[in-house]
């Protein structure tokens, strides 16, 4: 493996000094890029794109060719784990992910087991290995997974949901079943992320997309506890470096103190949480990632730069901030605005690191 030319992102996550604030963007390899849409069309469908290492590698690298980003994130999907458990993932145009089989009762849960990662999810590891080779140490590569609670939401509901009636119904009515499901998912995610680290992932993101749909106590019991189990089960060091972990609960800004106690290195913030007060609340325990509203990228380039300036100033001096959007980049934004975002972060943040 070649040595890392730009380790700004890893250094910020470990609260080490940096020359400027690092930046990457959730869903940075995606539909807002015309070159991504070309590859996606060539692949024929989303799952083929995810499961063909050469194509996944290509779209992972596309944003790095356009922008001076400080990290790449492997192109995949959070629902690869339930798919490997035999639920049959497919994507319906205009509706998003769907499962052929859903989890409805104790027997369905008993039938689940931790997949063999190099067997059923080997295409992800192959994509990571290939991307590390192609990236040639330019920037670090992030591996990721969905949180157990988020995966359970899709597995029980069969797709995305507005009210989470089925999965919450199981949680309230049969908590022991829900814990059994979350346990096998946590064990699967640990195995999955460790396989990614062994394949070459240099940092890990845990996406808890639906944790914010829970009440505080249920969040603690059914989401955070299992994410903490995962953090404790991960390989801590690889290639002579610490492998930092960032946890992101969308809509979870009120629980940052709890999240900071799990042993993670970084916490993702969405745009509903003020980054200045978040830093005051968690102190120096964790790095903060975020948190520009993705819709700012629909505004003028000057407005994008203004928003970048506001967020950098709100965070203040010193390391411990990874600039990102508060959620994924929208498919219809102008790629030029992304260029302005990245340039503004680097240019305007230097003064906060002197």
Which residue numbers are catalytic? 27, 31, 40, 77, 154
Separation of alpha carbons 165 and 150, rounded Å = 14
209 annotated to bind ligand: yes
Q: Find out whether 279 is annotated in a ligand binding site.
A: no
30 annotated among ligand-binding-site residues: yes
E strand spans, the chain: 72-73, 89-92, 96-99, 141-146, 203-208, 237-238, 241-242, 245-249, 266-268, 287-292, 321-325
154 is in an annotated binding site: yes
Whether cis (ω within 30° of 0) applies to the bond prior to 160 is: no
C-alpha 3, offset from chain centre: 24
CA separation for the pair 49, 260 (Å, rounded)? 35
Would you say 279 and 288 are in contact if contact means Cβ atoms under 8 Å apart?
yes
Query: CA 129 from chain center: how many Å?
Result: 19
327 is in an annotated binding site: yes
Spatial CA neighbour of 119 closest among 76, 155, 85: 85
Burial of 332: CB neighbours in 10 Å, binned 0-12, 13-18, 19+: exposed
Determine whether the annotation assigns residue 31 to a binding site. Answer: yes
Q: Rounded to the nearest 5 degrees, what angle is found at the Cα of 66, between the Cα atoms of 60 and 68? A: 90
The Cα–Cα gap between 45 and 275 comes to 38
The response to whether 77 counts as a known ligand-binding position is yes
The candidate with the shortest Cα–Cα distance to 233, out of 342, 325, 145, is: 145
The Cβ of residue 137 has, within 10 Å, a number of other Cβ atoms equal to: 13
Handedness of CA 235, 238, 244, 250 (dihedral sign): negative
* Residue closest to 292 by CA, chosen among 256, 257, 247, 337: 337
Residue 2: Cβ within 10 Å count: 10
Torsion of CA 335, 341, 342, 344, to 10 degrees: 140
Residue whose tokens read 């490997």? 84
Is 27 labelled a binding residue?
yes
Q: Please enumerate, by residue number, every residue annotated as part of a binding site.
A: 27-31, 77, 154, 209, 327
Q: Please enumerate, by residue number, every residue annotated as part of a binding site for substrate.
A: 27-31, 77, 154, 209, 327
């Amino acid at each position: 493996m070649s040595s890392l030319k730009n380790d700004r992102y890893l250094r910020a996550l470990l609260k080490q000094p940096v020359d400027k604030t690092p930046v990457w963007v959730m869903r940075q390899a995606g539909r807002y890029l015309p070159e991504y849409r070309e590859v996606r069309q060539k692949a024929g469908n989303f799952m083929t794109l995810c499961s063909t290492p050469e194509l996944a590698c290509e779209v992972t690298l596309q944003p790095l060719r356009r922008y001076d980003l400080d990290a790449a994130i492997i192109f995949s999907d959070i629902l690869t784990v339930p798919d490997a458990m035999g639920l049959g993932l497919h994507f319906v145009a205009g509706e998003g992910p769907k499962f052929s089989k859903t989890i409805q009762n104790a027997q369905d849960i008993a039938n689940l087991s931790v997949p063999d990662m190099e067997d059923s999810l080997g295409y992800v590891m192959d994509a990571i290995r290939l991307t590390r080779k192609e990236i040639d140490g330019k920037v670090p590569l992030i591996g990721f997974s969905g949180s157990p609670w988020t995966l359970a939401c899709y597995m029980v509901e069969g797709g995305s949901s507005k009210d989470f009636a089925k999965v919450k119904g199981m949680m309230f009515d049969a908590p022991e079943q829900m814990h059994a499901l979350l346990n096998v998912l946590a064990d699967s995610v640990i195995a999955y992320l460790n396989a990614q680290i062994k394949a070459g992932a240099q940092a890990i993101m845990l996406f808890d997309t639906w944790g914010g749909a829970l009440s505080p106590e249920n969040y603690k019991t059914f989401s955070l506890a299992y994410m903490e189990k995962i953090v404790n089960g991960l390989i801590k060091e690889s290639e002579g470096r610490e492998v930092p972990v960032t946890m992101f609960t969308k809509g979870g800004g009120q629980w940052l103190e709890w999240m900071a106690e799990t042993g993670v290195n970084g916490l993702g913030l969405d745009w509903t949480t003020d980054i200045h007060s978040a830093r005051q609340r968690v102190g120096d325990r964790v790095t903060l990632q975020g948190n520009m509203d993705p819709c700012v990228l629909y505004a003028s380039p000057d407005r994008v730069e203004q928003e970048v300036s506001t967020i950098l100033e709100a965070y203040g001096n010193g390391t411990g901030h990874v600039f990102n959007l508060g959620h994924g980049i929208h498919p219809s934004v102008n790629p030029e605005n992304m260029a302005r975002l990245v340039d503004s972060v680097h240019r305007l943040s230097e003064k906060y690191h002197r």
